[in-house]
Amino acid sequence: MSKIDLDTKVKFIHGFSHKTRIQILDSIKDNEKTVSQIVDEIEGNQSSVSQHLACLRGCGLIVSRQEGKFVYYQLRNEKVRQLLAMFDDVLIDIHMDIGTCKNHII
């Protein structure tokens, strides 16, 4: 297996570094959805959601497919779904520590 360079890791992790992107990932973790469905579910706006979807695609976390006039978004693969579940598992253990972190403000 080849070693992944640090810049690539940072770009990948960047996909998880915004509240809207996490909301989008949670929204599509079980079913593919259109932009309109995602916007409705997370109560966002179309422009912002579209920008974050582009970021998530650029980070390699999601893929899209076109069907007629609709574009459907879904997680790239099962490994991304497992990673999201792993985040939740780890957060259950450390959520109190995160609450006391003064270095990061949401």
What confidence score (pLDDT) does residue 105 get? 58
Q: To the nearest whole percent, how much of the chain has pLDDT over 70?
A: 94
Give dist(CA 44, CA 14) in Å, integer.
20
CA torsion 54-60-61-63 (nearest 10°) is 70
DSSP-derived letter for residue 3 is P
Out of 2.120.10.30, 1.10.10.10, 1.10.1370.30, 1.20.1440.130, which CATH number does the structure's domain 6-99 have? 1.10.10.10
- Cβ proximity of 14 and 59 under 8 Å: yes
pLDDT of residue 104: 61
Domain extent listing, the chain = 6-99
